């Protein structure tokens, strides 16, 4: 009897799947398939966590595995696995030597989190564009202080007419672009490979020259690229030196894309208007990090993708891929194990 293991019992109550998720997965499969739902709490943060003993036992005779990340232990425990799927978008922690050595098909949930993350990015942009960071500080001190807003070069601007640079024009990047274009912004977007024609209001760029234009021209730089060998440390001291003065950096990708020490220096010397950060090199962000104490930094604890609609989108993706798997058709969201996303 073919078996599929569903290891989606996130340890966070907010993201534990409703009962109908497994019911719909079961309904998408032929009657001869066995569906094993693992009840042990799984780690769905970031790229996913280590496997539980219950999950390891369940995959011993399984053909398919759904979880948060796919650990080396899962692959070793499931020699018959033909398809593995992660409920996360990030896959770096899953690209172990065991994964690279196996011909198992690996899919992820890229795009499932995109609408929620894009709305977070929009909020972060508006936070600095409209001076809400200054207003929040004044409110905390019960100060009616208009002086920063009355200055010759006030710290506010309109999103309309500004330039938003998006580093990583995948599912999240496209959702961000759609929202800021609707507000009247011009978008420069960086992709690794040539792709479709640029949609209205978006100019698609490539390579080092494309990144240089984004750094030089953008009022808001939004990082949505996966962390790979090519993107790790992409925004370093040299890159920050080339950023347009007064720009805002938004990172909802992975902390490893940014040299945090260089970012602190750029914020302290006034090169940047501000930084909005949802991800960090070390998580949780240590209390000793100077980022906590810089007034023009907005910090969220890696929650930009949280949404009550996650399981609707995730289950729809899984159902579509089950149909494709059973029919022998290419799956959606297949991870390029060499490229790293």
Residue 199's pLDDT is 84
Q: Give buried/exposed letters for 214-241 (b at 16+ CB in 10 A, else e).
A: bbebbbbbbbbbbbbeebebbbeeebbe
**Residue 60 burial (CB count, 10 A):** 12
Q: What is the pLDDT of residues 48-97, one digit of tens each?
A: 989 999 999 999 999 999 999 999 999 999 999 999 999 999 999 999 99
**Mean pLDDT of the region 169-189:** 97
Quote the pTM value. 0.94
110 secondary structure, DSSP code = T
Name the 3-class secondary structure at 271. Answer: coil
Look up residue 44 and give its two tokens.
């769905």
Residue 192's pLDDT is 83
**Mean pLDDT of the region 13-28:** 95
Share of the chain above pLDDT 90, in %: 94
What CATH code is assigned to 114-299?
A: 3.40.50.720
Given a cut of 90, is residue 152 above it in pLDDT?
no
Residue 279's pLDDT is 98
CA distance 290 to 127: 20
Tell me, yes or no, if 314 is annotated catalytic. no
**Mean pLDDT of the region 317-341:** 97
Among 85, 113, 254, 273, the active-site one is: 254
Confidence of residue 98 (pLDDT cuts 50, 70, 90): very high
Residue 14's pLDDT is 86
Continuous H helices in the chain: 19-27, 53-58, 72-77, 97-101, 114-129, 132-140, 147-150, 171-182, 207-217, 237-241, 260-268, 310-327
Name the 3-class secondary structure at 276. Answer: strand
Residues of the chain with CATH 3.40.50.720: 3-112+307-327, 114-299
Tell me, yes or no, if 12 is annotated catalytic. no
Tell me, yes or no, if 283 is annotated catalytic. yes
Residue 196's pLDDT is 63
Among 268, 283, 293, 329, the active-site one is: 283
Given a cut of 70, is residue 114 above it in pLDDT?
yes
Superfamily of segment(s) 3-112+307-327: NAD(P)-binding Rossmann-like Domain (3.40.50.720)
Is the N-terminal amide bond of 254 cis, ω within 30° of 0?
A: no
The span from the first CA to the last CA of the chain, in angstroms, equals 32
Among 175, 260, 302, 314, the active-site one is: 302
CA distance 86 to 66: 6
Q: What is the pLDDT of residues 261-302, one digit of tens each?
A: 999 999 999 999 999 999 999 999 999 999 999 999 999 999
Residue 200's pLDDT is 86
CA distance 39 to 9: 6
Given a cut of 90, is residue 195 above it in pLDDT?
no
Q: Give φ, ψ of 22 to 5 degrees.
A: -65, -35
């Amino acid at each position: 009897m073919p078996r599929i293991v569903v290891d989606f019992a996130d340890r966070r109550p907010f993201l534990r799947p409703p009962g109908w998720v497994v019911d719909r997965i079961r309904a998408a499969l032929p009657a001869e398939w066995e569906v094993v739902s693992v009840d042990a709490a799984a780690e769905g943060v970031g790229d996913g966590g280590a496997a539980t003993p219950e999950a390891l036992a369940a995959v011993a005779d399984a053909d398919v595995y759904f979880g948060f990340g796919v650990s080396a232990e899962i692959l070793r425990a499931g020699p018959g696995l033909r398809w593995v799927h992660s409920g996360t978008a990030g896959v770096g922690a899953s690209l172990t030597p065991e994964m690279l050595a196996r011909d198992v098909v690996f899919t992820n949930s890229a795009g499932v989190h995109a609408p929620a993350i894009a709305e977070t990015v929009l909020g972060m942009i508006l936070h600095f564009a409209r001076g809400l960071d200054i207003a929040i500080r004044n409110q905390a001190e019960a100060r009616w202080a208009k002086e920063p807003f009355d200055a010759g070069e006030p710290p506010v601007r309109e999103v309309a007419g500004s330039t938003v640079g998006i580093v990583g024009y995948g599912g999240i990047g496209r959702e961000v672009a759609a929202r800021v274009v609707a507000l009247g912004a011009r978008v420069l977007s960086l992709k690794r490979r040539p792709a479709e024609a640029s949609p209205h209001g978006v100019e698609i760029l490539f390579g080092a020259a494309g990144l240089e234009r984004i750094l030089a021209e953008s009022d808001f730089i939004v990082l949505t690229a996966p962390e790979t060998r090519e993107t790790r440390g992409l925004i370093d001291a040299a890159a920050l030196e080339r950023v347009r003065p007064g720009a805002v950096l938004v990172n909802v990708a992975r902390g490893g894309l940014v040299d945090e020490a260089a970012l602190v220096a750029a914020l302290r010397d006034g090169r940047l208007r501000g930084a909005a950060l949802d991800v960090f090199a070390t998580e949780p962000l240590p209390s000793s990090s100077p980022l906590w104490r810089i007034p023009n930094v907005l910090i969220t604890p890696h929650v930009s993708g949280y949404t009550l609609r996650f399981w609707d989108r995730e289950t729809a993706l899984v159902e579509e891929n089950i149909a494709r798997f059973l029919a022998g058709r290419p799956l959606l969201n297949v991870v390029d194990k060499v490229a790293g996303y």
